[in-house]
């Protein structure tokens, strides 16, 4: 049976740059921050930041990569971009401003040294750096002080433009539709890997081939709060299976998470699962109520403490966007959460995670946008599509 939803338009596979108005608006935010910080040249190594500034779709790779000048933004608005071809590169980035991939640092050094204003630059910012990279920048910009540029990029990107919110909502919609297909296949005997494959096929049938995670479905452990099996384990009656549905469409992450009960659990399993889901739903409701403009992000950590729920293995709140987005609220960094404020325009996933020995975990991540009037959900379903109401 075909998994294609013929009611859903399939995006074009043509490589095109991001919308012109969106590119200009995002870039202007970064230029404004450069002006405030008196930065002459911004050297960008992180792909998420390069996409935000340049608006160009480039090769996506899983895992980490060594630092390299993937994009350079000049104070006058000029952009120089690491790209091996000009397909999908907008006209506002001239072809002569493109430079190719190289494993020779001397090649990048020559590119940076030949930039107009390289010698005159007094302050150069970068969002990532290695020891060898630091030496390269010091040589390329001999009269400049190299400073941290990640903070100014975070300030520019922490709140989202209306068009960005629409793009994230579209990505979440793709994730939801793919998740619905995967949920239809959840039954005793199916494996975690098969569920992941069904999700990714449904995602690809919508024209999106980049998942944001490689582990979509997993059986929550009854023995410890967080465990993912290295084996391709079949699910069984009574298991609580968590789904982390996440895709990257047009550069924007869309993500939501849900937990379902498999098959026909026993009466005792049903009772305990229903109670666990109830605690999870109450926790999520309290988290939503704590999202108040201007409030410290640590208020979200306090919700867990007040509910008597142990700290989750994932961030309580994590920004959605191109990647490395704020807010990032985790029990591992309470001081950082206390210093951060929730601002209108922030888009993030709220995680409610409750675990009980002998039962498993009830997990939900709800994507939301914070407005002046409060929180707004970005997913169609605010709760699990299937509850353990047997």
- pLDDT means per 10 residues, the chain with 390 residues, are 48 76 97 98 94 84 71 96 89 92 86 94 94 91 96 96 97 96 95 95 92 89 85 90 94 94 91 95 96 97 97 96 93 95 97 96 96 92 48
pTM of the complete model: 0.90
Residue indicated by tokens 């509910």: 307
Q: Are residues 89 and 195 in the same domain?
A: no
Pick the closest to residue 125 from 108, 147, 144, 143 (CA basis): 147
Domain CATH for 108: 3.40.350.10
Domain assignment of residue 341, yes or no? yes
What local confidence, expressed as pLDDT, does residue 389 receive? 39
Domain assignment of residue 208, yes or no? yes
Q: Are residues 300 and 369 in the same domain?
A: yes
What local confidence, expressed as pLDDT, does residue 388 receive? 41
What local confidence, expressed as pLDDT, does residue 383 receive? 55
Q: Using an 8 Å Cβ cutoff, are 272 and 354 in contact?
A: no
Domain boundary residue among 157, 178, 208?
157
What local confidence, expressed as pLDDT, does residue 60 receive? 59
- Residue 82 domain boundaries: 20-157
Q: Which bin fits 274, alpha (ψ -120 to 50), beta or left (φ > 0)?
A: alpha
Q: Are residues 184 and 215 in the same domain?
A: yes
What local confidence, expressed as pLDDT, does residue 105 receive? 84
**Angstrom distances, CA of residue 330 to CA of 41, 190, 290, 351, 354:** 33, 33, 15, 10, 15
Domain boundary residue among 157, 185, 213?
157
Q: Are residues 151 and 254 in the same domain?
A: no
Q: Are residues 142 and 275 in the same domain?
A: no
What local confidence, expressed as pLDDT, does residue 6 receive? 46
Q: Report the distance separating Cα 303 and Cα 329, nearest Å.
A: 12
**Angstrom distances, CA of residue 59 to CA of 48, 62, 82, 115, 210:** 12, 10, 11, 24, 11
Structurally, the chain folds into a number of domains equal to 2
Q: Are residues 153 and 166 in the same domain?
A: no
DSSP 359: T
Q: Using an 8 Å Cβ cutoff, are 170 and 338 in contact?
A: no
Pick the closest to residue 365 from 265, 237, 259 (CA basis): 259
DSSP 75: T
Q: Are residues 148 and 287 in the same domain?
A: no
């Amino acid at each position: 049976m075909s998994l294609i939803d013929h009611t859903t338009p399939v995006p074009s596979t043509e490589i095109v740059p991001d919308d012109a108005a969106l590119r200009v608006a995002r870039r202007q935010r970064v230029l404004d921050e450069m002006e405030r910080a008196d930065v002459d040249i911004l050297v960008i190594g992180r792909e998420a930041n390069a996409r935000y500034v340049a608006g160009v779709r480039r090769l996506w790779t899983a895992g980490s990569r060594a630092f390299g000048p993937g994009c350079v933004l000049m104070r006058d608005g000029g952009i120089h971009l690491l790209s091996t071809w000009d397909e999908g590169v907008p006209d506002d980035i001239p072809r002569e401003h493109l430079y190719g991939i190289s494993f020779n640092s001397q090649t990048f050094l020559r590119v940076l040294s030949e930039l107009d204003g390289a010698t005159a630059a007094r302050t150069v910012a970068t969002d990532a750096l290695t020891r060898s990279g630091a030496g390269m920048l010091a040589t390329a910009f001999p009269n400049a002080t190299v400073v941290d540029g990640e903070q100014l990029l975070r300030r520019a990107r922490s709140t989202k433009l209306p068009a960005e919110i629409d793009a994230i909502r579209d990505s979440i919609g793709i994730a939801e539709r793919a998740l619905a297909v995967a949920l239809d296949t959840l039954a005793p005997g199916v494996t975690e890997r098969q569920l992941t494959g069904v999700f990714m096929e449904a995602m690809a049938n919508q024209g999106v081939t980049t998942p944001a995670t490689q582990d979509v479905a997993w059986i929550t452990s009854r023995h410890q709060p967080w465990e993912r099996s290295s084996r391709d384990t079949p699910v069984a009656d009574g298991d609580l299976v968590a789904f982390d549905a996440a895709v990257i469409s047009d550069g924007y992450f869309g993500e939501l998470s849900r937990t379902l009960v498999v098959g026909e659990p026993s009466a005792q399993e049903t009772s305990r699962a229903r109670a666990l889901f109830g605690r999870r739903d109450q926790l999520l409701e309290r988290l939503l109520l704590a999202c108040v403009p201007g409030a410290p992000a640590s208020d979200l950590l306090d919700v867990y403490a007040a509910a008597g729920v142990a700290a989750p293995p994932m961030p309580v709140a994590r920004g959605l966007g191109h990647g490395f987005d704020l807010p990032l609220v985790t029990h591992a960094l309470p001081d950082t959460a206390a210093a951060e404020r929730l601002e209108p325009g922030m888009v993030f996933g709220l995680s409610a995670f409750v675990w009980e020995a002998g039962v498993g975990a009830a997990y939900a991540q709800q994507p939301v946008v914070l407005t002046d009037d409060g929180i707004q959900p970005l997913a169609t379903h605010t709760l699990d599509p299937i509850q353990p109401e047997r």
